A = this chain, B = another copy of it.
Amino acid sequence: MATTRFEAKDPELDVLYQQLSEGGLQPLWELKGLLTPEPAVRGVPHRWPGKELRELGARAGDLVPVDRGGDRRVLACCNPGLGGAPYAVSTLWAAVQFLNGHEVAPAHRHTPAALRFIIEGSGVFTLVDGDPLHMGTGDLILTPSWTFHEHHNPTDQPMIWMDVLDLPVVAALDAVFFEEGPSEAADTSVADRSASERWYGAGPGLAPVGGPPLPPHRSPLLAYRWADTDRALTAQLQATGTAHARIRYTDPVRGGDVMPTMRCEIERVRTGARTGTARQTGGRVATVLHGNGRLRVGDQTYDVEPGDIVAIPSWTPWSIEADREIDLFSTSDAPVLEALGLYRELLGADA
């Protein structure tokens, strides 16, 4: 009988296994851990302190020229649970980028999409397909998939900011393309508002007629300014009368996430308040813009302050508690999971 034969030491089975191996086949019944009751999450909760990121960024600014490999002076957050891969969570790259005064990070483009979020500082401007976007505290700047982008610091002061990329997802799909960009003379007299903002950033629900063709798959607005975001958080708290507001950055013309692979959100938690616990499929990288308090992620509790970057792996419960009013920016891969029918969320006590 097959069962007996299987459980016993079986020379015929050894032969079969040998044949399978030679034939480039593996028996499912010998594979473990493929289908787990809950996600076998790669990556662990982790926090990179902002203070350290700023110090090491500055130190790299002293020691390493910007034109080294990749033309970017970037320190990538490596989740200790990912076996050395330079990813903050399994699906997102997060890093700090440091640019000295009068430095230029030259143009290139790649299919992985990037965003920049500025914790503190200003002065650098980024050209995205030639449109110069100045970068200031609290701003979100998009450099979508396959757009040329370059960074210029015409000031005397260095600047540091956070980068988030969907690189792990694009790499997992074997779809990374990269191209050096054309050299452009940098115009140091950059206007206050990019063309993208003039077309799409004047007000809510006011869309231009007859403008440039809308890019497929992503927002035509490339800069989301802190003044607007702050106003939206304040207004939502007024509307609800609660202690927790949450805003999603979206395509202002067609709705939907700013880019097809990354969702950007910011939430404000008032002093003394705590959010409910939530868990979602998909990874998230959060950073503190303002305030102090605690971020609970799985069984970890981090005392957080501005500039801290925190990895929230897939399906890991998390919550925010504010000692001083917190503004928390986060990026997740939720649009990917939603598009593929894989998004799950648990809110509240059972999360």
Residues in chain A within 8 A of chain B (CB atoms): 2-3, 5-6, 10, 12-13, 16, 19-20, 23-32, 34-43, 46, 48, 52-53, 56, 59-60, 62-65, 67-70, 72-80, 86, 90-91, 95, 108, 110-112, 145, 167-179, 193, 195, 197-211, 216-219, 221, 224-225, 228-229, 231-236, 238-239, 245-255, 258-261, 265, 267, 281-283, 313-315, 333, 336-337, 339-342, 344
- How far apart are A149's CB and chain B's nearest CB, in angstroms? 13
For residue A235, which residues in chain B have a CB less than 8 angstroms away from its CB? 193, 197-199, 201-202
- A-B contacts besides A23-B56, A175-B315, A208-B245, 4 pairs, CB < 8 Å: A16-B60, A39-B174, A172-B172, A174-B283
Given known contacts A13-B64, A77-B25, A202-B204, A253 and B250 CB-to-CB distance under 8 angstroms: yes
Partner of A6, one of B30, B64, B255: B64
How far apart sit A16 and B205, CA to CA, in the bound complex (Å)? Answer: 40
Q: Are A336 and B341 in contact (CB under 8 A)?
A: no
Q: Are B261 and A340 in contact (CB under 8 A)?
A: yes
In the complex formed, the residue of B with least CB distance to A109 is: B35
How far apart sit A208 and B12, CA to CA, in the bound complex (Å)? Answer: 48
Q: Are B70 and A29 in contact (CB under 8 A)?
A: yes
Write 10 A-B pairs (CB below 8 A) sorted by A numbering. Answer: A10-B63, A16-B56, A28-B72, A29-B74, A31-B70, A36-B176, A174-B315, A198-B238, A206-B229, A209-B247
Q: Are B173 and A210 in contact (CB under 8 A)?
A: no
- How far apart are A329's CB and chain B's nearest CB, in angstroms? 13
For residue A228, which residues in chain B have a CB less than 8 angstroms away from its CB? 202-204, 206
